Each structure stands twice: as C-alpha cells, then as structure tokens.
Amino acid sequence: MEEVRVRGYQEKDQSATRNICVATANGFAVDTQKQKELLCLLFNDYYTENEQDTCFVAANEKDEAVGYIIAARDFQEYKKLFKKYYMPKIYKLSFFQGLIRSIGLAYEGRVSKEYPAHLHIDILDGYQRMGLGHKLMNTLINRLKELGVKGVCLFVGAKNLKGISFYKKFGFTEVKRIAGAVCFGLKLD
C-alpha cells in the first residue's frame, strides 16, 4: 500500500488541489473549462490563495496532493474578501451560480456566530477509505484550536450519504437543512 502523509499546503499544490476539486465535483457540471474554473472559484481558490495556514494536503510518495482539507477561520473576513475578489468573477462566468452563492453566503452568516470557520475536504477516489479523511480533519481541527476558533461548519449535499456518515462519525452535528444541502457543525471549545 502506498504511503500517504498529511502536510501543510504549498504553492506547488495549487494545480493539484484545483484538479482534485474538479475530479471530486459530485453533481456539479465540469464538462467545459468555464465550468471547471467556476467550480474552483466557488470551492478552492479563496482558501489556497488567502488562508494557506488552514490548508492541508494528503501527499503521496511522490509528494503529489491526492486530497486536501481547506478552511476559512473567520466567516466575516472570508465574506468580505470573497465578495470583493471572487464574486465578480463568479457572476461573470455564471449569473445563476453567483446568485446561488450569494444566497449561500447569507445563510452561512446565520451560523457563523457559533461556527465561525468553515471547511471543504476532498480526496481522490483511489485514496478514499484509507483513513486520510480523519487524518486531514484532525490536522485542521488541531490548527483551528491553536488559532482559538470556537467552531467549524461545512455544507454537504443531502444525497451524499458517505459524506454525511463520515461527518457524523467525526462528531459533527446537523445544524440545518436548506435547498438540498445539510449544514453540519462542530464546536471546538
């Protein structure tokens, strides 16, 4: 079995994390370059460009990223930068996805008092069920605790039963359901 280790995100990982984001895009159209770019703007680029100290990768024996966990530690700061620098690009690529993300930002703001941080985690198919999800999650949670963050949340598709099961096993609790998604939260204090 190939050895995979968790390490901090590095600039050289940008292309790999974007590719992983696209490869694991469950239910999101990624047939065109425009759709791939949109997906990465929505779920990857902000974190790897602005919050590298809360981004970690699972790296194979060649030191290539095969999975990642990325997070924003403070929703209000995330929202300010995301709206200023990323939303214009998103709206340019897809007005509809821009609207959806704007609604999502409004909803996330409602849970950010209890769960100021939020995360995304993705692992390539060939590397799932190896304990990497727990290793990545533990690494991020420990980092968020070091930073004094009191809670973290995430959103997952309501039909993503494997993901939901993983988050529940890890100790996340369901906060709310909205428009085909489930918000899970984990208190860190």
**Domains in the chain, please, with CATH?**
5-148 (3.40.630.30)
State the alpha helices, DSSP H only, in 13-86.
Answer: 14-23, 33-43, 45-50, 75-81
List, for residues 62-85, the tens digit of each pLDDT value: 999 999 999 999 999 999 999 999
User: Which pTM does this prediction carry?
Assistant: 0.94
Buried b (16+ CB within 10 A) or exposed e, 56-89: bbbbbeeeebbbbbbbbbebeebbeebeeebbee
Q: For the packed helices 33-43 and 95-111, what is the interaxial angle rounded to 10 degrees? A: 20
The answer on pLDDT for 93 being more than 70 is: yes
